[in-house]
Chain A
Amino acid sequence: MERNWGILLAAPAMIGFLLFTLIPMIASLGFSLTDWNIGGSFSFIGLENYKTMLTEDKLFSKSLFVTIYYTLGSVPLVMAGAFFIAMLLNQKVKGLSIFRTIFYLPVLVPSVANTMLWLWMFNPDFGLLNTILGSVGISGQQWIYSESTSIPSLMLMSTWGLGNAAVIFLAGLQGVPAHLYEAVEVDGGGPLRKLWHVTIPMMTPTIFFNLVMALINTFQVFNEAYIMTEGGPNNSTLFYVYYLFRTAFKDSQMGYACALAWGLFLIILFLSSLIFLTSRKWVYYEGGEN
């Protein structure tokens, strides 16, 4: 009886998985092997789309470069910043909940409003950032409006949302047993030794979790490109998913867009497996040997 109930209650989720995940996934792989355009031809072309991606399509390599560039800047910035703030908050500070609220608040700003706000803050003439720079005598920047500073500007913007990772880090830090720190003290170790020999090893599972989630999210940046920059200037913010969206819904090249989607999937799969595989070497699980 338990078995029947079990399957019955899980049935909606299993049907949902089939209908909205597995079947579309397989269909997407199938479409990626065709030259399907909406309202156009539909024929099997094998791996031709993937070949085009890797050899001819300059926008594909550009979008991949842009996305990786952004990830390499944004993820370490957000992780390091969040970790640092969590460390500060974990020093038994008074008003912890107030500080935590403040650091988490930007995470709540709906993405569209967030892009709107930063668009305005990046405004070269009347924006907040150049106003601040101007008040200390630094000449204004072009921010997202110049090819060389557009991605660094978006990296900066992403650090405003570090509160989510910081709250997770803080929870991890609060779980580090105090006796480990005391043990370092007994040996005459200072704060640095505590950080290196206790805090960081004990935090590796949390770092691992935040790292994987951050990676998956930055590889799928879309709203910034769609609302703020439209991929410009000169394709300098042509994020991968934005390029995919344009291919599918502006150029109607559904077959090629599916190939791009699978390309993204394989890249994310590769990178997460890399982190998972190396995690044995650097992620410490308490009691993992038992």
Chain B
Amino acid sequence: METNPVINSEPIKPTRKSNFKLSRIFIYLLLVLGSVIMLFPFFWLVRSSFMGMNQIFAFPPEWIPKPFMWSNYSEALTSVPFDKYLLNTLMIELLVLAGTLVSSTLAAYSFSRLRWKGRNIVFMIILSTMMLPYAVTLIPTFMMWKELGALNTIVPLTLPSWFGTGINGVFNIFLLRQFFLSIPRELEEAAYIDGASPLTVLLRIIIPLSKPAFIVILIFTFIAVWNDFLGPLIYLNDDSKFTLAIGLATFKGLYNAQWGYLMAASVAIVTPIVLLYFVAQRYFIEGITLTGTKG
């Protein structure tokens, strides 16, 4: 049975070869074309970020900046306090990442490794909230923070992460649980025989083995916080508290037609994420694949 395909395909091969080669060329042609289309907006973004006002509004449009207006960047990034927005964003990043790391690790460990009654139902209920439109909880949550006097602070944007919710919270529990489930049980059984508590097992065995999974959730959560727009839009109204995303949108309102500045500011916000991607590409692909194929 197993050898049949080999025998059968032998005589066909020579006649198909030229056909095969042609289709290979066609595949590469399509891929290159697709890549060019994907990259073109990036080119346009960078090209525009270096253009002065005269050139950007030249007709017909020109492709290459002449001269390169590096000053777009210094102008754009100092005309509104982007350094402050960066600090604000990093502060939120720090609190969200720390919170989600702790809360999702504890929950995922409990949901994957410890047996207790109702565990699977609780996990399924929490998991199902991933499909809940955020609009449903938005208004009461907003009113709750308002009553608590937490509007215009970063509390509404960071505290939920310490409770397994907030940005990517449930997703992180799901992803870590998947990973913990793949760790062989024999390792911890030995520890339990020695009288270790579940917490010791988590700290000594599970966590050290799960570094790749932690990197995946840290990267994805970092990006989600970096990109979050609606959250800061609703909760922060004081200019000095703004994040980069909100700052960029505000900047657009102030410099409406100054496309060179706008594109320079956009490049500045895109670049850290792209650099992160190139450094940690392996984890990105792993993370996306893990969510897509085991859902």
Contact = CB atoms under 8 A, between A and B. Distances in A.
Nearest to A247: B139
Interface stretch (A71-79, A106-114, A146-154): A106-114
Contact of B263 (A16, A103, A117, A265): A117
Contacts of A282: none
B78 interface: no
Interface in A128-156: 128, 131, 134
Contacts of B173: 13
Interface string B126-166: 10010111111111111110000000000000001011111
Contacts of B27: 88, 91, 93
B30 interface: yes
Contacts of B61: 126, 131
Contacts of B230: 222-223, 245
B133 A219 contact: yes
Interface stretch (A4-12, A43-51, A193-201): A4-12
Interface in A250-281: 254, 257-258, 260-262, 264-265, 268, 272
B140 A28 contact: yes
Given A9-B110, A17-B164, A222-B230, A244 B295 contact: no
A219 B135 CA distance: 11
Given A12-B164, A113-B266, A106 B41 contact: yes
Contact of A120 (B223, B259, B295): B259
Given A5-B197, A164-B288, A186-B4, A110 B135 contact: no
B252 A116 contact: yes
Interface string B38-49: 111110110010
Nearest to A125: B59
Interface string B41-83: 1101100100000001101110000000000000000000000
B133 A24 contact: no
Contact of A113 (B114, B202, B248, B281): B248
A16 B34 contact: no
B110 A10 contact: yes
B289 A167 contact: yes
A185 interface: yes
A53 to B, nearest CB: 14
Contacts of A88: 27, 30-31, 34
Interface in A153-200: 160, 163-164, 167-168, 171-172, 175, 182-183, 185-186
A221 B122 CA distance: 30
A220 B107 contact: no
A97 B278 CA distance: 11
Chain A contact residues: over half helix, strand or loop, or mixed?
Answer: helix
Nearest to A123: B259
B38 A13 contact: no
Nearest to A249: B234
A227 B252 contact: yes
Interface string B159-180: 0101111100100010000000
A6 B284 CA distance: 30
Interface in B278-295: 278, 281, 284-285, 288-289, 291-293, 295
Given A113-B248, A116-B252, A20 B137 contact: yes
Contact of B117 (A3, A93, A110, A222): A3
B293 A134 contact: no
B117 A116 contact: no
Nearest to B34: A85
Given A120-B259, A272-B131, A171 B293 contact: yes
A113 B103 contact: no
A117 B41 contact: yes
Interface stretch (B90-98, B207-215, B269-277): B269-277
B179 to A, nearest CB: 16
Contact of B165 (A21, A27, A175, A260): A21
B217 interface: no
Counting chain B CB atoms within 10 Å of each CB, the highest count among A89, A116, A183, A241 belongs to A116
A175 B292 CA distance: 12
B125 interface: yes
Contact of B133 (A1, A2, A265): A265
Interface of B: 4-5, 8-9, 24, 27-28, 30-31, 34-35, 38-42, 44-45, 48, 56-57, 59-61, 103-104, 106-107, 109-111, 114-117, 119, 122, 125-126, 129, 131-144, 160, 162-166, 169, 173, 197-199, 202, 223, 226-227, 229-230, 233-234, 244-246, 248-249, 252, 259, 262-263, 266, 269-270, 273-274, 277-278, 281, 284-285, 288-289, 291-293, 295
Closest 4 CB pairs of A and B: A16-B163, A13-B164, A168-B292, A6-B114
Given A2-B115, A110-B244, A171-B292, 15 more contacts: A3-B114, A12-B103, A16-B103, A19-B163, A24-B136, A27-B140, A106-B38, A109-B273, A111-B227, A111-B229, A112-B269, A120-B44, A241-B135, A249-B234, A265-B132
6 contacts: A17-B163, A88-B27, A91-B24, A118-B41, A120-B259, A126-B59
